[in-house]
Amino acid sequence: MDFQLTEAQDFFKKTVADTIDRLILPKADEIDEKDEFPWNLWREFSRLGYLGLRYPEEIGGMNADKVMCMIFYEEIARGSVGFAQSVIMNILMGTYFLYRFGSDAIKERCLFPAMRGEKIATMCFTEDQSGSDLGATRTTFVRDGSGWRINGTKMWITNGPICDFCTVLATSDPTKGLKGLNFLLVEKGTPGFSSGQVINKLGCRGTVTGELIFDNVWVPEENLLGEELDKGVFYLGEVLDEVRLMTGAMALGIARAAYDEALEFARKRIAFGKPIGVNQLIREKFAEMDTLMNAARLMVYYGAWMLENNMESRIIAAEAKMYATEVCLKVVDELTRIYGANAFAHEYKPQRFFRDARFLLYGGGTHEVLKDFIGRTIIGKL
């Protein structure tokens, strides 16, 4: 068993970390406070090529393996979770189905510009009545001439209000549940496609999240992204493990940032004539945090390695997402305790980490849903 990064992965990690330290960390507090999409940072970051991270070099991508992707997700979340959400949506969920199923024309019009940062992508799953319960999707589409007619509303869409195109989860028949799901491409400017309310979030600020409305939207035949009708849930399964591992990697990034902040504070904060880091109960916190973070990292990166090697990874991906996120919550909570009352003030970083960490509880499936999935998978049909 080899737990060492390859030479290429190690070089990539150092390069990405340097980019995050130089470009994103200095702006993280400002992004959170303003809660506005950082267009200048987006343009500057896009020029570095990371938005093509997952895709082949021959189409302008970086051809990164799954472990390298986790490295990137962890590092950018360490910098700014708000900015990371927008970037990762472009890299993974927002463009995956275009690369997998899109025509050459769609790729030229949408995928390639998104890889260059010239267009912003998003994926539309969630509705008011359906989050983890995708079978309850009520956005519908029907055949209309040489294309499809879409009606419905999506909520909690990352990049939604600023997107140039979106991949929409819709059903051919609400009574079919999961068996009626499909993915369709809708582009900005299509009649009937509009943005609704913008959500004022507790954390992950700086990424614009909101409502997208599809009012009798017509798209051509080729915008149905899939080889067969009503196979959307199957196609989703192909990428869901990576989405869950990505969320776990982002949790590691927040946890690392919080841990580093706690360590610096424990070394410099003087109480009763000495740094608080010399106290046994404070040292105990760091021992526990470090242990938990190492365990979570092993799960996330092991899952990525399994995914890269085409191994069954459904359970480990769900467990890694769930465990890493809970570890992240534990670490940021301990940071607030080590910081004391200053952690409650907006001028210090702990409150930002505390708010950001909560968001990861929901992406990729709530932990209640994941636990049920893991248990059912292990036990099997009775």
Q: Flag whether 267 is in a domain.
A: yes
> What six digits make up the tokens of 214?
């599809």
Distance CA 224, CA 212 (A): 18
The CATH number for 210's domain is: 2.40.110.10
The pLDDT, as a whole number, for residue 381 is: 74
Four-point Cα dihedral 212, 218, 219, 221, nearest 10: 140
Domain identity same for 255 and 282: yes
Domain identity same for 111 and 134: no
Question: With contact defined as beta carbons under 8 Å apart, do 350 and 339 qualify?
Answer: yes
The pLDDT, as a whole number, for residue 131 is: 84
Q: How many domains does the chain have?
A: 3
Domain identity same for 96 and 172: no
Q: Flag whether 1 is in a domain.
A: no
Domain identity same for 177 and 288: no
The CATH number for 26's domain is: 1.10.540.10
Domain identity same for 224 and 237: no
What is the mean pLDDT for each group of 10 consecutive residues in the chain (382 residues)? 92 98 97 97 97 97 97 98 98 97 98 98 94 92 97 97 98 96 98 97 96 98 95 93 98 98 97 96 98 98 96 96 98 97 95 96 92 93 74
Domain identity same for 261 and 172: no
Distance CA 287, CA 209 (A): 37
Domain identity same for 96 and 145: no
Domain identity same for 337 and 305: yes
Domain identity same for 204 and 106: no
H-type alpha helices, 47-109: 66-79, 81-91, 93-101, 104-106
Q: Flag whether 36 is in a domain.
A: yes
The CATH number for 294's domain is: 1.20.140.10
Q: Flag whether 2 is in a domain.
A: no
The pLDDT, as a whole number, for residue 166 is: 98
> What six digits make up the tokens of 221?
């035949």
Range of the domain at 343: 233-379
Domain identity same for 94 and 152: no
Domain identity same for 218 and 250: no
Name the helix (H) or strand (E) containing 367. helix 367-379
Domain identity same for 225 and 238: no
Report the relative pairing of strands 209-220 and 193-198 from DSSP bridges.
antiparallel
